[in-house]
Amino acid sequence: MAYTALYRTYRPRDFDEIAGQEHITKTFKNALEKGKLSHAYLFSGPRGTGKTSIAKIIAKAVNCEHAPVANPCNQCDLCLGIDQNIINDVIEIDAASNNGVDEIRELRDKVKYLPGHGKYKVYIIDEVHMLSIGAFNALLKTLEEPPKHVIFILATTEPHKIPATIHSRCQRFDFRGIHTKEMLTRLNEIVDKESLDIEPEALRVIAESAEGGMRDAISLLDQVVSYSNEMITVNDVHAIQGSITDDAMIEIAMAIQASDIIKAMEILDQLLSEGKESHRFIDDLIVFYRDILVVKNTHSKEGKSLFEKPAFEKIMDALSNPMVFHYLDILNQAKQDMRLASQGKLYLELAFIKMLDVTIKQDVVMRESMMRLTEKVKTLENQIENLQNRIEAKKDEGQNVVRSVFDDIVQSSPDTKPVVNESDTLDETEKQPVPPQPKIDVPKQPIAQESPYVKLYKKYEAKQYRTYDIRFVEDVLNTGDREVKIEMVQKWYDIERFIDEERANYAKLITDGDLVATNGAMLIVSYDSAATCNRLMKPDVKRKIIEVLEDYYGRKMLFMALPINVWKKVSAEFIKKFRAKTTDDDFITLSPIEDSRLKEIPEEKESYEDVISENVKTAKDLFGDIVKVKKGD
């Protein structure tokens, strides 16, 4: 007799031989034993998961001479007959080639005849998704109320193509891909029965590459057996599949990591000359890096033997997520391009060069370290906040404790310093631990609820500040609110987008600077040049800016522009004094701002008294309203 493929020889003959799918076999065993079988089933699932096999086992079990039984006996005439396809009560229909209405009509006509041998007629309709719409509809009525002696089993790989009306008339069973472990058990049984010589590792590679399809695995085993003469090795499996061995893969990954182009190209050339296909190669590489990503982030090493290799771990540890994404982007792009072009090798080389290129890699590393930096800053900020809360809590217990805790913060973060120096984008205040606010009478609230800030605003608006008044700075710093600042800074650069076009240039002016300090009602913004500050502090400009900020943040605030160098000086002084102060309630005073480039700009009044000189003011104080000022020409 001619040779039959292994997967046909080893088609499971009862439920116990089925690999995996326990949720299904158990259900059916119980149903069969209790005689509670439904009249229609729909089996769906990927190829090689046992749909047709289970359907045939059910057909045997219901017709078995010993019925009701959980498993067919496989010994009685009926069981054997069904196995050999000679009992015409079990009707296997290939819906793919009999997909028309006529075929289904014929089926419908014959359904009413009683079974010839057993108790049931079992219709197994394979690839049922190929039926035409007309055929499906013709089947509907029969499926809804078939004669007592009929069981329908519909099997398909594409359940979504089946009309809902069919779905609702069947009990649906979803078949899962078979797990590598279950597959290995089954493969081992076959290997034992066939008495084959095969490396356990090779068997494992077979199981892994089958991706859940038992038939694929057995087919591959069959093929490997035909290919190799004696002992079957891992290399045989890879040779047949045209896939790349784990070791070669690791070697390539190492070369890419080290940006060793000569080595990488050598391996590439060698593999290609061994007959590996470039599109296969790319697929394998993508899977490899995907595996790295998964294992790296889930820390579970189950699944593939590759994961346990020390070299794999080494590569994994050296690669960061963004770098793997970078590689995967390149490979995916190459895979896509390859589809259209005939010269796959060229794209593969191109992808390799891109992955090996040091400058591109550096970009990725840069971006990545930036990300890490921001993260670090964030955790630092959280730490400081926690400490702040602790300070709050311990406030009553004595000032000394507070001081020592705060000193601790300053000293405990030395490791951030070198990192911070690398980046210029972080603003000055972020570098220094922001001092805790002594007067936290401001409850932590979103900006929208403005009452505390309005109070603050009213309080400070009354003070008549000079243009670059150090008192302004003192007030802001002493009442500074970090949370508000962070919140405002986050929205800072969006000002431009939200302000109407007319005032867009003001918005641009504002965002040219950095918001460096605020207490919610007053803000200090630093600019590169003193000239800009002078321009911004002109009353009419300043008014506009305050207006823009009011529209944007939803409340009125006082505004001061300071050149960055002046700000640095002032803030350094503040921090120094803050550390030196003895009690929390101290109000820190600073030395006045001195910079020859900054001009004091006289405040304008909107009334006719545009300029009220100091003398006029004294006069008014003395004589009250009767003082009249005449404007000189």
Cβ–Cβ < 8 Å for 540, 502: no
Q: How many CB atoms lie within 10 A of CB 601?
A: 16
Cis peptide before 452 (omega within 30 of 0): no
Cβ–Cβ < 8 Å for 19, 183: yes
Nearest to 167 by CA among 185, 194, 144: 144
Q: Which of 164, 262, 393, 462 binds other proteins (CB under 8 A)?
A: 262
Interface residues for other proteins in 236-255 (CB under 8 A)? 239-242
Query: Is residue 357 near other proteins by the rule CB under 8 A?
Result: yes
Q: Which is nearer to other proteins, 216 or 246 (CB)?
A: 216
Sheet holding 40-44, edge to edge: 90-94, 121-126, 150-156, 40-44, 171-174
Q: Which is nearer to other proteins, 32 or 202 (CB)?
A: 202
Nearest-10 Cα torsion for 156, 158, 162, 167? 70
Least distance in angstroms from the C-beta of 123 to other proteins:
15
Q: Which is nearer to other proteins, 345 or 569 (CB)?
A: 345
CA 616 to each of CA 144, 512, 604, 611, 633: distance values in angstroms, whole numbers, following the listed order: 103, 39, 15, 9, 17
Cβ–Cβ < 8 Å for 282, 249: no
Least distance in angstroms from the C-beta of 189 to other proteins:
19
Query: Is residue 389 near other proteins by the rule CB under 8 A?
Result: no
Q: Which of 113, 227, 498, 623 binds other proteins (CB under 8 A)?
A: 227
DSSP strand pairing (171-174 vs 514-518): unpaired
Q: How many CA atoms lie within 13 A of 511 on its CB side?
A: 19
Backbone angles phi, psi at 504, to 5 degrees: -60, -35
Query: Is residue 287 near other proteins by the rule CB under 8 A?
Result: no
Query: Is residue 462 near other proteins by the rule CB under 8 A?
Result: no
Query: Is residue 360 near other proteins by the rule CB under 8 A?
Result: yes
Nearest to 205 by CA among 169, 249, 173: 249
Interface residues for other proteins in 150-169 (CB under 8 A)? 157
Least distance in angstroms from the C-beta of 344 to other proteins:
9
Q: Which stretch binds other proteins (CB under 8 A): 276-284, 480-488, 512-520, 541-549?
A: 276-284
Query: Is residue 48 near other proteins by the rule CB under 8 A?
Result: yes
Kindly determine how many residues on this chain lie close enough to bind other proteins according to the rule CB under 8 A: 61
Cβ–Cβ < 8 Å for 438, 584: yes
Helices 261-273 and 278-298: crossing angle in degrees, nearest 10, is: 120
Query: Is residue 413 near other proteins by the rule CB under 8 A?
Result: no
Query: Is residue 1 near other proteins by the rule CB under 8 A?
Result: yes
Interface residues for other proteins in 324-353 (CB under 8 A)? 337, 340-343, 345-347, 349-350, 353
CA-only gyration radius of the chain, Å: 40
Least distance in angstroms from the C-beta of 5 to other proteins:
5
Element (H, E) at 524: strand 522-527
Interface residues for other proteins in 178-217 (CB under 8 A)? 213, 215-216
Q: Which of 75, 226, 412, 421 binds other proteins (CB under 8 A)?
A: 226
Query: Is residue 94 near other proteins by the rule CB under 8 A?
Result: yes
Query: Is residue 369 near other proteins by the rule CB under 8 A?
Result: no
Q: Which is nearer to other proteins, 269 or 407 (CB)?
A: 269
Interface residues for other proteins in 52-71 (CB under 8 A)? 52
Query: Is residue 50 near other proteins by the rule CB under 8 A?
Result: no
Query: Is residue 225 near other proteins by the rule CB under 8 A?
Result: yes
| Environment class of 424 (CB within 10 Å of its CB; exposed 0-12, middle 13-18, buried 19+) | exposed
Q: Which stretch binds other proteins (CB under 8 A): 76-84, 223-231, 506-514, 554-562?
A: 223-231
Q: How many CB atoms lie within 10 A of CB 248?
A: 18
Q: Which is nearer to other proteins, 239 or 286 (CB)?
A: 239
Query: Is residue 366 near other proteins by the rule CB under 8 A?
Result: no
Least distance in angstroms from the C-beta of 553 to other proteins:
42
Q: Which of 70, 261, 365, 601 binds other proteins (CB under 8 A)?
A: 261
Q: How many CB atoms lie within 10 A of CB 67?
A: 19
Q: Which is nearer to other proteins, 236 or 475 (CB)?
A: 236
Least distance in angstroms from the C-beta of 273 to other proteins:
4
Q: Which of 44, 99, 142, 571 binds other proteins (CB under 8 A)?
A: 99
Element (H, E) at 516: strand 514-518
Query: Is residue 276 near other proteins by the rule CB under 8 A?
Result: yes
Least distance in angstroms from the C-beta of 64 to other proteins:
22
Secondary structure tally for the chain: helices H, strands E: 30, 8
Distance CA 347, CA 502 (A): 51
Output the six-digit token pair for 216: 């694929």
Distance CA 593, CA 596 (A): 10
Cβ–Cβ < 8 Å for 187, 209: no
By CB under 8 A, name the binding residues for other proteins. Answer: 1-5, 46-48, 52, 85, 94-97, 99, 126-127, 130, 157, 213, 215-216, 219-220, 222-223, 225-229, 239-242, 261-262, 265, 272-277, 279, 337, 340-343, 345-347, 349-350, 353-354, 356-357, 359-360
